[in-house]
C-alpha cells in the first residue's frame, strides 16, 4: 500500500454492514463479502463494520420457536417459496463453506445478540462474534435469546462471562443499537443484508462474490483518483 493511494493517513476502505443474526441471507452475505475481501488485492486495507438491524423487533423477548414454525404461521404451511428459498440458500451456502440446518434454526428477539456484538467490538472481536452467532443460529440451532448461551459464546471468543452477563442484565449498548437502527431508517434500509462501501455506494442482499469485488475495485479506484 503506497502513500500516493491513500495519503499519509492510510485510511482503510470502510464497508458498513447492516444485518440481523436470524437472517439467513445475512449469513451468506457475510461469507461472500469475506471471500471478496480475501480475493481483493488490497484486502488488508478494508475495514468491515457491523451495524444492528432487527427483522422482527416485535418478537417477544425471552421466547424462542423454531423458525420454520414461525414462518409457516406467517406464510402458510408447506409454502413452496419457503422450501425453494431454503434449498437455494443451502446450496449457495455449501459453496461458501456454510452448513445451513434450517430444521434447527430458532426465531428469537435478537436485541441481546446485538448487545454481544457491541461488547465484542469493544474487545476487538466484532467480526468473530458476528460469525459465531451466525453459526450458532443456522448450524447449531442455539437459542440466541438465552443469556447463558450468549455468555458461553462470548467466552469462546476470549471475552469474560461476567462482563457478558452484566451487559445483558443491564441492557448495555442500547444507545449504540438504537443509533444503528436510526441510521438504517435514514438510509431507507428496509431489508438486510445491506452493505455501504466508503459511504458512497450500496449493495443490497447476498449478491455473488463478483458484485462485492466490483464494489471494492471501484471504491479503490475512487480513492486513487481523488488522492485520498
Q: Residue 66 forms beta bridges with which residues?
A: 106
d(Cα 142, Cα 133) in Å, to the nearest integer?
9
What value, to the nearest 5°, has the Cα angle with vertex 112 and ends 111 and 117? 95
Contact 51, 116 (CB under 8 A): no
- DSSP letter for each residue of 203-220: EESS--HHHHHHHHHHHH
Kindly report, residue by residue over 114-169, the tens digit of the pLDDT.
999 999 999 999 999 999 999 999 999 999 999 999 999 999 999 999 999 999 99
pTM, entire model: 0.93
The residue behind cell 471501484 is: 218
Confidence (pLDDT) at 76? 76
Residues of the chain with confidence (pLDDT) below 70: 1-10, 77, 227-228
Task: Determine the pLDDT at residue 224.
Answer: 84
The span from the CA of 43 to the CA of 212, in Å, is 12
The conformation of residue 170, written as its DSSP 8-state character, comes to T
Domain ranges of the chain: 3-226
SS3 13: strand
CA dihedral 136, 95, 205, 34 (to 10 degrees): 70
How many helices (H) does the chain have, and how many strands (E)? Answer: 10, 6
Residue 75, pLDDT score: 77
CATH of domain 3-226: 3.40.30.10
pLDDT at 10: 57
Using CA atoms, how far apart are residues 69 and 172, in angstroms rounded to an integer? 31
pLDDT at 87: 96
Taken in order 163, 164, 166, 167, the sign of the CA dihedral is positive
Amino acid at each position: 500500500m503506497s502513500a500516493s493511494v491513500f495519503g499519509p493517513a492510510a485510511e482503510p476502505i470502510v464497508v458498513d454492514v447492516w444485518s440481523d443474526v436470524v437472517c439467513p441471507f445475512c449469513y451468506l452475505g457475510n461469507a461472500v463479502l469475506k471471500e471478496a475481501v480475501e480475493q481483493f488485492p488490497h484486502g488488508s486495507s478494508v475495514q468491515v463494520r457491523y451495524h444492528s438491524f432487527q427483522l422482527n423487533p416485535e418478537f417477544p423477548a425471552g421466547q424462542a420457536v423454531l423458525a420454520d414454525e414461525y414462518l409457516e404461521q406467517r406464510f402458510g404451511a408447506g409454502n413452496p417459496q419457503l422450501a425453494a428459498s431454503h434449498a437455494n440458500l443451502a446450496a449457495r451456502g455449501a459453496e461458501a463453506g456454510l452448513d445451513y440446518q434450517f430444521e434447527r434454526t430458532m426465531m428469537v428477539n435478537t436485541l441481546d445478540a446485538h448487545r454481544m456484538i457491541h461488547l465484542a467490538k469493544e474487545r476487538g472481536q466484532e467480526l468473530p462474534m458476528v460469525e459465531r452467532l451466525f453459526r450458532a443460529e443456522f448450524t447449531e440451532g442455539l437459542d440466541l435469546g438465552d443469556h447463558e448461551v450468549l455468555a458461553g459464546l462470548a467466552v469462546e471468543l476470549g471475552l469474560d462471562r461476567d462482563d457478558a452477563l452484566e451487559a445483558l442484565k443491564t441492557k448495555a449498548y442500547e444507545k449504540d443499537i438504537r443509533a444503528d437502527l436510526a441510521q438504517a431508517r435514514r438510509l431507507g434500509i428496509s431489508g438486510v443484508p445491506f452493505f455501504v462501501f466508503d459511504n458512497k455506494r450500496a449493495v443490497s442482499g447476498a449478491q455473488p462474490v463478483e458484485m462485492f469485488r466490483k464494489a471494492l475495485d471501484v471504491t479503490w479506484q475512487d480513492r486513487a483518483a481523488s488522492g485520498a
